[in-house]
A and B are shown apart, each in its own frame.
Chain A
């Protein structure tokens, strides 16, 4: 699966490092592309839409992002046909009901609350990887 790639949208460099660490520990060998804020994420998506960038197999999206909010990124992803079916997993520390509801309303595939404990986080990431990259049948790329 060297072709498939994961887009990680995370603004905190520490959390970025930890997330990558967790993924690697879970034996997820895919390429991981990181967008450090909402704007970068949208830029990436634009390239996906005009064909210069192959679409990711999975998008891990944090909600609290500078410049453009995570929910807006999600909305944009869902807005165009080419990317509407992309599996998007919100990975955020917020468990506010309104965030959960809003995310599902916009068509997110899964909502995970990031545990503080790294061990738990690592376990969750492993399960994420196993599920979304191995078990789950991804939509065919358009």
Chain B
């Protein structure tokens, strides 16, 4: 039961008991008043009964006196007394209207009275008719006797009525007494109950207070903990702020070093190329302007010088590209690799119009990658494929994708010179070459660049090949 309900119960029960008590007391009091009324009533009845008896006695005396003296005043006295008796009896009847048994007794009384009075009337009539004669006792006996015909006397009748009235009174008195006692008991009981309820209520109050105190103690505890928590929190945010600051510093340092690196590589590549131009230009000038002095060997030397210069230029370009790939951010978007491959093929083939290469590009190969980096990767991979098929008849280069192990694998395959699988590990290392310059020119950086691009996409790259049977370069892009 919820505390509220319980509280309500504790409130309504005493109230109800108090009301009950009130009602019981009221009833008891009513009974008491009732009893008092009845007492008065009984007294009245008795008085009335006594009056009737008195009147009866007066009538009796008056009749006797007349019988003795034949004086008319006694007769009129008798008449008056008789009237009193009847009136009194009527009044008595009216007073005990509600009591059937009393009414019955009164009916009997009336009969006895009328019999007695009848007897007296007869005797008085006798005297009236014989005012001076002596009357026989036998003739007077019914009038003088208490019971003219042997039935109960009037006195007895009245006494019976009185007794009944007394009985009723004591009964009512007993009832009143019982009511009083009941009232007393119920009052005492209710009082005890109220006291008990009060005690319980008081107890509840104490409990409630104790609960409140406990709660406030807990609240204080929580408050203290809260304080500690915010303290810890503050520490945490302070540490966080410090950390962020450090991260910011490092990022800035990194940016600065990145920028420095960029500037460095930019100026390096530029400054390294400048002398190359000089070397190349003047070697050629030498060959052209002093051709009459130079023999075939001399011209050959100059060619070698120029060759060296070219290679150095390509190397610088490749290195620059590699460093750019390392530094640039990978910005992924949907890239149509098929289109890109076709484009790069076209560009690279544009300068080699005399070659006949079969190109196969799987259509609609789309990947989520950085388009600029992918272009660099394709330029290197496709460039390689074209380079290594330059001495192959029926050269074929293809680009496509396959699915394997839940990831997409892209590949570029050629049927060119291939490579020895024994040295596959060195393929992607910068400056490691598996073919000499005599066979195929190259910087040895291209695949290192592609490898770096693939790794920056969180992908993997691997190669398979066989000497004279071509090579397949496969890679994933960590999608």
Q: State the A residues within 8 Å of B (CB).
A: 12, 14-15, 17-18, 21, 64, 93-94, 96, 114, 116-119, 121
Contacts and interface: CB of A to CB of B under 8 A. Distances in A.
B278 A14 contact: yes
13 contacts: A14-B282, A15-B274, A15-B277, A17-B281, A18-B277, A21-B281, A21-B285, A96-B266, A116-B276, A116-B277, A116-B312, A117-B306, A121-B281
Nearest to A116: B313
Contacts of A119: 284
A93 B266 contact: no
Given A21-B285, A119-B284, A93 B306 contact: no
A15 B278 contact: yes
Contacts of A94: 266, 270
A12 B274 contact: yes
A128 to B, nearest CB: 16
Given A116-B310, A116-B313, A118-B284, A93 B270 contact: yes
For chain B, the bracket of interface size reads 10 to 19
B contacts with A: majority SS: helix
A17 B273 CA distance: 16
Nearest to B278: A14
B166 interface: no
B280 A116 contact: yes
Contacts of B277: 14-15, 18, 93, 114, 116, 118, 121
A23 to B, nearest CB: 13
Nearest to A19: B281
A17 B284 CA distance: 13
B270 A117 contact: no
B19 to A, nearest CB: 100
Contacts of B349: none
Contacts of B283: 118
Given A116-B276, A116-B309, A116-B313, A64 B270 contact: yes
B324 to A, nearest CB: 9
Contact of A117 (B266, B274, B285, B310): B310
A18 B281 contact: yes
B280 A118 contact: yes
B282 A117 contact: no
Contacts of A93: 270, 273-274, 277
A117 B273 contact: no
A-B complex: 6 closest residue pairs judged by Cβ atoms: A116-B313, A18-B281, A14-B278, A118-B281, A118-B284, A118-B280
Nearest to B267: A64
B195 to A, nearest CB: 100
Nearest to A14: B278
A18 B441 CA distance: 27
Interface in B253-305: 266, 270, 273-274, 276-278, 280-285
A112 to B, nearest CB: 13
Nearest to B289: A21
A111 B276 CA distance: 20
A119 B270 CA distance: 20
A10 B313 CA distance: 20
A116 B306 CA distance: 10
A134 B290 CA distance: 31
Contacts of A114: 277
Contact of B313 (A14, A21, A96, A117): A117
A22 B281 CA distance: 9
A14 to B, nearest CB: 4
A21 B281 CA distance: 9
Nearest to B283: A118
Interface in B234-257: none
A96 B309 CA distance: 21
Contacts of B281: 14-15, 17-18, 21, 118, 121
Contacts of A14: 277-278, 281-282
B263 to A, nearest CB: 11
A92 to B, nearest CB: 8
Nearest to A22: B281
A12 to B, nearest CB: 6
Contacts of B284: 118-119
Contacts of A116: 273, 276-277, 280, 309-310, 312-313
Contacts of B270: 64, 93-94
A65 to B, nearest CB: 12
A12 B310 CA distance: 20
Given A15-B277, A117-B310, 14 more contacts: A12-B274, A14-B277, A15-B274, A17-B281, A18-B278, A21-B285, A94-B270, A116-B280, A116-B309, A116-B310, A116-B313, A118-B280, A118-B281, A119-B284
Given A93-B270, A93-B273, A12 B278 contact: yes
Interface string B88-118: 0000000000000000000000000000000
A64 B251 CA distance: 31
